[in-house]
């Protein structure tokens, strides 16, 4: 079986759906559901996904798959359609370099042929090694930041679960909460509400967001599809309004692991006060629901990283990086400082 050869072809979403889902179920279990497939591959407002399958040439069985999901990317003020690669999977017996490179090259062919200006991928370490073989290294790593709300687990791990520790922690938590209340949106002149903003306001904010040079466009249709209609996760949106009801920015979050909140997106164009007001609101959610803390993952070296550092998050660890594939010569394309990229931009 390990010596078997594979042939790669473009998939037909209708005819090949069950075979694709079978491969995903065996190798990326959370990805192998019909509801996710129909949402991610078919309902994307930027366009229907592309997919490829790898077949065992002896048996005709589908043993590998990959996908590319269209995204609208703002590049120097112009909106281009690019591809976000994901769902790269092979059955265990076929996980060798030859078949993997064959499938990856097929996935990159629309870029090489000029049908799309670029693709971006958030690969695993094994996938990163494949890109390295093709001469492409990550733009920058993903970097996770965290902000603590409660510290009882740390204190009890060090001092034991004793009453004196709990008494001391009560004072510590009061001090942390008092610090966080300084970020209340009203003190910054904003009204923060837990709601999806009107579509026209979302489109306006996206159109008026002039920097940085490269970012995923966040139209109202995209925000609703990506977060509200998401087939895997339940997200919540916090919207910050200035006087007169004008949308100033918004934040998207969901529950994370170990009683935490994950911040998936922050849109606060040109005004750090908006970001502080939104952070204050999500901190309030964390306190109200007894969460241990918040986390946010950003592209290292990007403006998003500078923002979370300024807002009191602490750097935790780096993960695999973002890989770009493009034939085009674009100024600053390989500079993470020219990109706005946070975890909400990652493939799902």
Q: H or E segment at 306?
A: helix 303-310
| pLDDT for 178 | 45
Burial class, 257, CB count within 10 angstroms (exposed 0-12 / middle 13-18 / buried 19+): exposed
Block residue for tokens 């993470």: 336
Average pLDDT over residues 167-176: 44
Q: What is the mean pLDDT of the chain?
A: 89
Please state the domain extents for the chain. 6-137, 143-321+333-343
| pLDDT for 4 | 74
* Three-state SS at 49: coil
Domain 143-321+333-343: give its CATH superfamily: Gcn5-related N-acetyltransferase (GNAT) (3.40.630.30)
Statement: residue 156 has pLDDT above 70: no
How does pLDDT run across 96-153, given as a tens digit for each residue?
999 999 999 999 999 999 999 999 999 999 999 999 999 999 999 999 999 999 755 5
Statement: residue 160 has pLDDT above 70: no
Assess whether the region 6-137 and the region 143-321+333-343 belong to the same CATH fold: yes
Query: Which of 177 and 161 is assigned the larger pLDDT?
Result: 161
6-137 belongs to which CATH class? alpha beta
Residues 6+ apart with CB under 8 A from 11: 20, 51, 52, 53, 65
> Residue 212: is the preceding peptide bond cis (ω within 30°)?
yes
For residue 69, report the phi and psi dihedrals to the nearest 5 degrees: -105, 120
> What pTM does this model have?
0.88
Statement: residue 71 has pLDDT above 50: yes
Residues 6+ apart with CB under 8 A from 256: 262, 295
How does pLDDT run across 210-227, given as a tens digit for each residue?
889 999 999 999 999 999
Residues 6+ apart with CB under 8 A from 48: 13, 41, 42, 70
How does pLDDT run across 225-275, given as a tens digit for each residue?
999 999 999 999 999 999 899 999 999 999 999 899 999 999 999 888 999
Statement: residue 175 has pLDDT above 70: no
Confidence of residue 1 (pLDDT cuts 50, 70, 90): very low
Confidence of residue 330 (pLDDT cuts 50, 70, 90): confident
How does pLDDT run across 294-324, given as a tens digit for each residue?
999 999 999 999 999 988 899 999 998 999 9
């Amino acid at each position: 079986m390990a010596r078997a050869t594979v042939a790669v072809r473009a998939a037909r979403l209708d005819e090949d759906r069950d075979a694709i889902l079978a491969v995903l179920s065996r190798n990326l279990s959370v990805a192998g559901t019909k509801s996710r497939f129909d949402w991610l591959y078919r309902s994307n407002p930027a366009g229907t996904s592309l997919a490829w399958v790898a077949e065992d040439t002896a048996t005709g069985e589908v043993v590998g798959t990959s996908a590319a999901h269209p995204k609208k990317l703002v590049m120097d003020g112009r909106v281009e359609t690019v591809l976000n690669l994901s769902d790269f999977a092979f059955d265990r017996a076929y996980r060798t370099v030859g078949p993997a490179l064959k499938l990856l090259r097929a996935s990159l062919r629309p870029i090489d042929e000029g049908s799309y200006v670029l693709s971006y991928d958030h690969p695993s370490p094994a996938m990163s090694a494949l890109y390295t073989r093709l001469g492409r290294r990550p733009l920058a790593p993903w970097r996770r930041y965290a902000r603590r709300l409660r510290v009882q687990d740390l204190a009890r791990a060090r001092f034991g679960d004793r009453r004196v520790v709990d008494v001391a922690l009560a004072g510590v938590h009061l001090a942390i909460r008092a610090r966080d209340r300084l970020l209340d949106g009203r003190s910054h002149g904003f009204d923060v509400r837990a709601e999806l903003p009107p579509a026209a306001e979302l489109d306006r904010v996206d159109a008026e967001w002039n920097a940085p040079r490269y970012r995923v466009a966040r139209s109202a249709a995209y925000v609703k599809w990506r977060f509200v209609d998401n087939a895997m996760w339940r997200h919540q949106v916090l919207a910050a309004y200035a006087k007169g009801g004008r949308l100033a920015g918004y934040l998207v979050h969901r529950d994370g692991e170990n009683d935490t909140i994950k911040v998936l997106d922050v849109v606060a164009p040109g005004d750090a006060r908006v970001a502080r007001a939104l952070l204050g609101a999500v901190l309030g959610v964390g306190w109200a629901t007894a969460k241990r803390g918040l986390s946010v993952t950003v592209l290292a070296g990007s403006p998003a990283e500078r923002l979370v550092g300024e807002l009191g998050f602490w750097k935790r660890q780096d993960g695999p990086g973002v890989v770009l594939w493009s034939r085009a010569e674009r100024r600053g394309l390989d500079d993470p400082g020219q990109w706005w990229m946070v975890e909400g931009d990652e493939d799902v």
